[in-house]
Amino acid sequence: MAAGVVNIRRDVDDKFYRYRMPVLLTKIEGKGNGIKTVIPNMSDVARALSRPPTYPTKFFGCELGAQTSFDEKNDRYIVNGAHDATKLRELLDGFIEKFVLCKSCKNPETDLIITKNDDIIRDCKACGERTAVDMRHKLTTFIVKNPPKNPKRIKASRKGTADGSPSPANGHENGHSTPEVDAGGESDDELTRRIKAEAAELNTDAVAITKEDWSVDTSEEAVKARVKAVGASLAAVSLSAGGDEDSDDDFDSPYAQLGRWVEDSESLGPVEVYKKAEDLGIAKKHKTVQVLAQVLFSDDILAELPKYAPLFKKMVTSEKHQKSLLGGIERLVGVVHSEIDLNNTVPKILMAFYQADILEEDIIKQWGTHVSKKYVDRDTSKKVRKASEPFLKWLDEAEDSDDDDE
């Protein structure tokens, strides 16, 4: 586990648990009656929990009987009085249990939904359950008065199951009516709706990247060259697979089919790509991540990363997936688009995947210090890792900074 980062569920002792957050930090300011506790990284913690930073701050105030204040413009979140970090971290665990974790599967991948009756529901994107928040807690009043941005409003359903009884899957624990979505929508399942929503959000928030002449060469010769490069890269995958998954050296293997389908399509969205991988039966295979890393991007890689980040976040679920993704990146920058400036591009690619919580610090460091011939030749492997050194140095410096803060 990276220094300064903990599992959202601190009772889970798994260094590869995918749901993580920064360690909550505190800073005591003032003296006497004016003493207060400032939480300098509350925004980062709240972002990892997909909650507004005002919610956990207000929760601390409710639990401690203390006044709280927020200055969202200057990113300052304050609890009056002197409170040590250990105490607030324990209280944060309580907030996560009550207002973040799905009560059914204990997964933090939830959204808060406010009903027209002003009840609060945790809508879980992992298992599909909707479970009620205990409305007796004082924080619920604050949440109802200060709903999340773009909150989902749902209405109480009068429908039950076929036998007239309330639906147990979506019913409230406090006896309220079963909620259902107020507005209609597309028929996509929860998974694809989430990928689509995240892609739209990331595209909106993505920082614009200055371009010189990044247009894609669509001439017949250029297209043939890219197809040939992809074909060569897919063939190389089979040489490095080690027999741990389905062989893809066959022209009709699902991996080859997926690669050709992406190459032959235009303006693919993350939902379409995931559905295609599902149809081919390889959505959960780690090799699929490697293939997609090679074929999804043009030479305008940095501008396209925000669009596909939600797709990779959904598909990268283990250490093996992360290593395959890094292998795909090696082939992307070292073979498919070998003309790009490695020193300028590789650190930014790694930073994008790291900040999106797709690649973990330990995995990147291990990869960056071990040259391998698994995905590319040794010389190319060395060049790519050499280009990654500024990012690896940044990771070390960030770790040292976290240690100093602690």
Lowest-pLDDT range of 40-44, 61-65, 124-128 = 124-128
- Of 359, 279, 275, the C-alpha closest to 318 is 359
Helix, coil or strand: residue 385: helix
Q: Domain for residue 220, yes or no? A: yes
Amino acid identity of residue 248, one-letter, is D
pTM over the 0.85 mark? no
- 3-state SS string over 1-45? CCCCEEECCCCCCCCCCCCEEECCCCEEECCHHHCEEECCCHHHH
Q: 121 and 115 in contact (C-beta within 8 Å)?
A: yes
Residues 71 and 116 in one domain: no
Distance separating alpha carbons of residues 61 and 69, to the nearest angstrom: 9
Tokens of 6: 């903990």
Question: What is the structure's pLDDT at 97?
Answer: 95
Q: Domain for residue 26, yes or no? A: yes
119 or 222: which leads in pLDDT: 119
Q: Is the pLDDT of residue 183 over 50?
A: no
Q: Per residue in 313-358, pLDDT tens? A: 999 999 999 999 999 999 998 888 888 888 889 999 999 999 889 9
Residues 221 and 278 in one domain: yes
Most distant CA atoms of the chain, gap in Å = 75
Confidence grade of residue 190 (pLDDT, cut at 50, 70, 90):
low
Q: Is the pLDDT of residue 67 over 90?
A: yes
- Expressed as residue numbers, the domain containing 389 is 192-207+215-405
Question: What is the structure's pLDDT at 237?
Answer: 45
Backbone angles phi and psi of 127, in degrees to 5:
-110, -10
> What CATH number did the domain enclosing 144 receive?
2.20.25.350
Question: What is the structure's pLDDT at 253?
Answer: 84
Candidate ranges 39-53, 197-211, 212-226; pick with highest mean pLDDT: 39-53
> What CATH number did the domain enclosing 248 receive?
1.25.40.180
Of 78, 99, 120, which residue constitutes the final position of a domain? 99
Residues 252 and 348 in one domain: yes
Give the CA angle between residues 225, 343, 341 to the nearest 5°: 30
Helix, coil or strand: residue 307: helix
247-266 exposure pattern, b = at least 16 Cβ within 10 A, e = fewer:
ebeeeebbbbbbbbbbeeee
Question: What is the structure's pLDDT at 251?
Answer: 60
Distance separating alpha carbons of residues 139 and 396, to the nearest angstrom: 38
Tokens of 205: 């928030």
Residues 40 and 56 in one domain: yes
Q: Domain for residue 104, yes or no? A: no
Distance between terminal CA atoms of the chain?
16
Residues 197 and 176 in one domain: no
Q: Per residue in 161-178, pLDDT tens? A: 333 333 333 433 333 333
Lowest-pLDDT range of 46-55, 183-192, 284-293, 344-353 = 183-192
Residues 43 and 129 in one domain: no
* Burial bucket for residue 121 (CB in 10 Å: 0-12, 13-18, 19+): buried
Count of structural domains, the chain: 3
Confidence grade of residue 396 (pLDDT, cut at 50, 70, 90):
confident
Confidence grade of residue 219 (pLDDT, cut at 50, 70, 90):
low
In this structure, the strands spanning 120-124 and 130-132 are: antiparallel
Mean pLDDT of the chain: 78
> What CATH number did the domain enclosing 59 receive?
3.30.30.170
Q: Domain for residue 105, yes or no? A: no
Confidence grade of residue 47 (pLDDT, cut at 50, 70, 90):
very high
Percentage with pLDDT > 90 across the chain = 40
H helix intervals, 241-360 = 254-264, 270-279, 286-295, 301-315, 319-331, 342-355
Residues 83 and 114 in one domain: no
Lowest-pLDDT range of 57-71, 119-133, 208-222 = 208-222
Q: Report the interhelical angle of 342-355 vs 378-387 (nearest 10°).
A: 70
Q: Is the pLDDT of residue 23 over 50?
A: yes
